[in-house]
Amino acid sequence: MRIFLSTILVTVFSFGISLADIDFDRFFLEKTMRVDYFHTGIQGKEVISLDQVREEPIWAGSRVNLIDTLNLGKYFFKVFDAKTNQMIYSRGFSSIYGEWETTDEAAKGIWRTFSESVRFPYPKGTVQLAIAVRDEGGYYKNIFSTVIDPNSHYVNREPPTSDMSVISVQKMGEPAKKVDLLILGDGYTRDEMGQFRKDVERFTKALFDTSPFKERKKDFNVWAIEVASQDSGPDQPHLGIFRNTALGCSYNTFDSPRYMLTYENKAFREIAANAPYDQLFFIVNSNQYGGGGIFNLYSTTFTRAEKEVQSWWPDYVFVHEFGHSFGGLGDEYYSSSVAYTDFYSSKVEPWESNVTALHDPDNVKWKDLIEEGTPLPTPWDKAEYDELDAERRALETDDPDYGRKLTEITVRREELFQKQKYFGKVGAFEGSGYVSEGMYRPSLDCRMFTKSLAEFCPVCRQAIERMIDFYTE
């Protein structure tokens, strides 16, 4: 494809670039450039190849914070203006590929390909796009680079399919100065749109009932698109259930029954292009527990619990997953089974704001929130918690006494936390990031730790607030 003007030489990841404000109007038009690519590999080897460059009609992101200074995400992309060699846009993100490569399947040497996209405001002139991944030491290394002429006829300028209604659920101001959350439904048939609208209202309420979103509600616009699926409900491959849905959401991602993602990147991107968005959330018409969330990609949740005693579960999942996809937060739990092996290396400090390997206790990344005199690691009755959590995991949902037993365990867990010396304090509590030892979390409890309606811990709250500030300047 001649879109790549190989004669233009741009130094990749050149330094000496000022992080001073980039003048949006000098470099960009008020619409989006989306670059779709294929991310292919096996464990230890990855390749990115270009699919297409796509024009989208709306840019909803900040016009001020064009350069990402947060340094979050497994991947990072940078856009350079070819004429001035100036970096004009950058963002950290994570991907399904980045998780998949930590699974057994990838370790066995089975090559796979995932469709991914990066989006940035539509450049006026030729740009170089570079994508980097963190290496084993946690430092970014460049794995892809291409030159894009925005005026080339190779850019796909088709209008997106727009026979769907866009609903303004909560409009607080201009998209450029707000976090624009776009909710899409999957597995809702045309006859189930009333239910979809009710579910959107329910989750919007759940989000803004939780701190720090509660206090920052005015910084968010919420949009929804009525997407009709042919079939009701998502795929459940492990149960032999396959359904044709608009977004392609499926349980059993990486063979983990409750992990629900979609691999149909271009399908949901084409639908989402109809509304302003910074963040995507797919609510999936199902009563089976599940969800997922990947930083700056999307989140998913199921929508209804099977039993009355579980009625709050979808609210928990919605907010927890949004913690991943919006806040860039890691999982603080360690006792539930996941499909990853060695998701975090104990040798490298995780990039997530709320998980630490505690290599340097004097300089732990949330040091400013720790009271003087708090020991690091911070002692707690881990063995007792582990026993209780094993009891919780052993509960059978078809046990006629399930509800009472679940409530009883929840009460005992709360009592256990409350009798800890460092209850309510920030420290470094061992057990986090899917491992019982060698990874630490900031507080005893958090929405990223227990399956409960627990508040976010102070470190997670701070990370979320920082992100809201970044979007709304």
List contacts with Zn ion (CB under 5 A): 354, 446, 448, 457, 460
C-beta of 446: minimal distance to Zn ion in Å?
3
For Zn ion, give the closer residue by CB, 81 or 331: 331
Strands, E assignment, 160-290: 166-170, 179-186, 220-225, 279-284
For Zn ion, give the closer residue by CB, 248 or 327: 327
Bridging pattern class, strands 179-186 and 220-225: parallel
| SS3 at position 83 | coil
For Zn ion, give the closer residue by CB, 142 or 336: 336
C-beta of 186: minimal distance to Zn ion in Å?
28
Bridging pattern class, strands 279-284 and 298-302: parallel
C-beta of 146: minimal distance to Zn ion in Å?
38
Find out whether 250 and 211 touch, Cβ atoms under 8 Å. no
Q: Quick count: other Cβ atoms within 10 Å of Cβ 405?
A: 16
C-beta of 441: minimal distance to Zn ion in Å?
6
For Zn ion, give the closer residue by CB, 170 or 354: 354
* Separation of alpha carbons 224 and 282, rounded Å: 10
Q: Which two tokens stand for residue 151?
A: 């005026």
Radius of gyration of the chain (CA): 22
Name the residue among 272, 36, 49, 297 with its Cα closest to residue 156. 36
C-beta of 459: minimal distance to Zn ion in Å?
5
For Zn ion, give the closer residue by CB, 60 or 457: 457
| SS3 at position 166 | strand
For Zn ion, give the closer residue by CB, 273 or 448: 448
Find out whether 30 and 59 touch, Cβ atoms under 8 Å. yes
C-beta of 449: minimal distance to Zn ion in Å?
6
Distance, CA of 344 to chain centre:
17
Which residues share a beta bridge with 118?
A: 35
- State the Cα angle at 327 between 258 and 236, rounded to 5°: 15
For Zn ion, give the closer residue by CB, 283 or 355: 355
C-beta of 424: minimal distance to Zn ion in Å?
13
For Zn ion, give the closer residue by CB, 131 or 355: 355
Q: Quick one: residue 409, left, alpha or beta (phi over 0 = left, psi -120 to 50 = alpha)? A: alpha
For Zn ion, give the closer residue by CB, 186 or 331: 331
C-beta of 445: minimal distance to Zn ion in Å?
8
Q: Which two tokens stand for residue 271?
A: 């639908």
| SS3 at position 145 | strand
C-beta of 329: minimal distance to Zn ion in Å?
7
Find out whether 87 and 79 touch, Cβ atoms under 8 Å. yes
